[in-house]
Amino acid sequence: MQKNLLLYIVLPAFLLGACAIENPKKIEINMKNETGDSLGMVILQERADGVEVDLDLEGLPPGEHGIHFHEKGSCKRPDFVSAGNHFNPEDKMHGLLHPEGAHAGDLPNLIVEDDGTFKAKLMAPLVTMTKGKASLFTKDGTSLIITENKDDGMTQPAGDSGLRIACAEIAKEKQKK
């Protein structure tokens, strides 16, 4: 009887732990520029209404910049094209302002201070860190990209936001303890 009771306690705890490793609810990723320098950390955390993106960055050009989740977890410098297109599992049009949009990876623009810093939390309501089509934990991983210009919220396929200037890879093994 005591052995069976132990199984009822230990087995569910083990299974819950295995699920947490498979689908972390919080990770910290390192945003790097085209030369490989760290611009700071980004914390992604699963919330009831999507994924919270907590950015604490420095060394960016001042002004308005686009930011998007991309379909591959690859940040090969200097141009980050290895990250692929915007993350778009529902095959939507691009743009937060588009009546038929938006890509799951579309996020509000960043407005970087004159000293090159940006610190804020954004919400990504169309992605998740749990299993499913909109999960950031795909077979190839995903990435978070910052562009040189602002995203106009409408132009196809990527908002006319210019070159990719910073990238952070998103993968399960980057789980925050």
Listed residue (103, 25, 92) closest to 66, CA to CA: 103
pLDDT at 118: 97
CATH of domain 25-174: 2.60.40.200
pLDDT of residue 160: 87
pLDDT score recorded for residue 117: 97
**pTM, rounded to two decimals:** 0.84
Confidence (pLDDT) at 173: 64
pLDDT at 59: 97
Domain residues of the chain, as ranges?
A: 25-174
Averages of pLDDT over each 10 residues, the chain, 177 residues: 44 43 80 97 95 97 97 96 95 89 92 97 95 92 96 86 96 58
Q: What is the 3-state secondary structure (H, E, C) of 94-148?
A: CCCCCCCECCCCECCCEEECCCCCEEEEEEECCCECCCCCCECCCCCCEEEEEEC
Separation CA 56–CA 40 (nearest Å): 6
Q: Residue 25 carries which DSSP code?
A: S
